[in-house]
């Protein structure tokens, strides 16, 4: 099974990606974790990404698409995978479909964890990530609404969108997702 997990900052994407990865026995691909690791190690990708991450901005499409292309080509998982933190724009979503078609794969579902702004802010402030400062959180929520929300329309149009409330406990959210699959 190949899944994309969508949601704003603090929506529970990371938590659900881990849970679903274990439950479904599929690989978890967290672009946020991979980017933070690349920044810490000062890799070429990390250096390109650092300025955007520090400002709470999304990486340009061309950087993310090339990164994900390389990653998916190098890390084919027989059982499938769950992408957390990618795609972030409708263009990236379309490019992901093209890439998967080239490598004879397809996306089963895009799961959107719907969470209101107040909950996203509260959850983000309780984490200890370098990019979880109040003004950066506000910017990330703004960007999420502007750039990521159109992805929902894209996946809705292809009949692959599952919208799940991300506000209950992580156990309840996971059960709801598994029932929807």
Please enumerate, by residue number, every residue annotated as part of a binding site for ATP.
10-15, 127, 168
Give the residue numbers of the binding site for AMP: 31, 36, 57-59, 85-88, 92, 140
Q: How many CB atoms lie within 10 A of CB 34?
A: 18
Q: How many CB atoms lie within 10 A of CB 32?
A: 17
Instruction: Give the Å distances, CA to CA, from 19 to 12, 16, 24, 27, 85.
Output: 11, 5, 8, 11, 15
Place of tokens 């402030």: 125
CA distance 176 to 181: 9
Measure CA 144 to chain center: 11
Max CA-CA distance within the chain? Answer: 42
Q: Is 81 helix (H, G, I), strand (E, B) or coil?
A: strand
Continuous H helices in the chain: 13-24, 31-40, 44-55, 61-74, 90-102, 117-126, 134-143, 149-157, 170-180
Give the residue numbers of the binding site: 10-15, 31, 36, 57-59, 85-88, 92, 127, 140, 168
Q: Cβ distance 7 to 166 under 8 Å?
A: yes
């Amino acid at each position: 099974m190949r899944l994309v997990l969508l949601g704003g900052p603090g929506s529970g994407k990371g938590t659900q990606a881990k849970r679903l990865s274990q439950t479904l026995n599929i690989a978890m691909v967290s672009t946020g974790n991979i980017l933070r690791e690349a920044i810490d190690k000062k890799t070429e990708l990390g250096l390109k990404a650092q300025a955007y991450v520090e400002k709470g901005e999304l990486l340009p499409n061309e950087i993310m698409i090339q990164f994900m292309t390389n990653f998916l080509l190098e890390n084919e998982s027989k059982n499938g995978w769950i992408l957390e933190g990618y795609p972030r724009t409708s263009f990236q979503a379309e490019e992901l479909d093209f890439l998967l078609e080239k490598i004879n794969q397809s996306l089963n579902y895009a799961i959107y964890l719907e969470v209101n702004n107040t909950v996203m802010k509260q959850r983000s402030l309780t984490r200890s990530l370098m990019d979880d400062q109040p003004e950066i959180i506000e910017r990330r929520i703004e960007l999420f609404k502007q750039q990521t929300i159109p992805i929902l329309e894209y996946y809705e149009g292809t009949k692959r969108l599952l919208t799940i409330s991300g506000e209950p406990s992580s156990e309840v959210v996971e059960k709801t997702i598994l029932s929807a699959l």
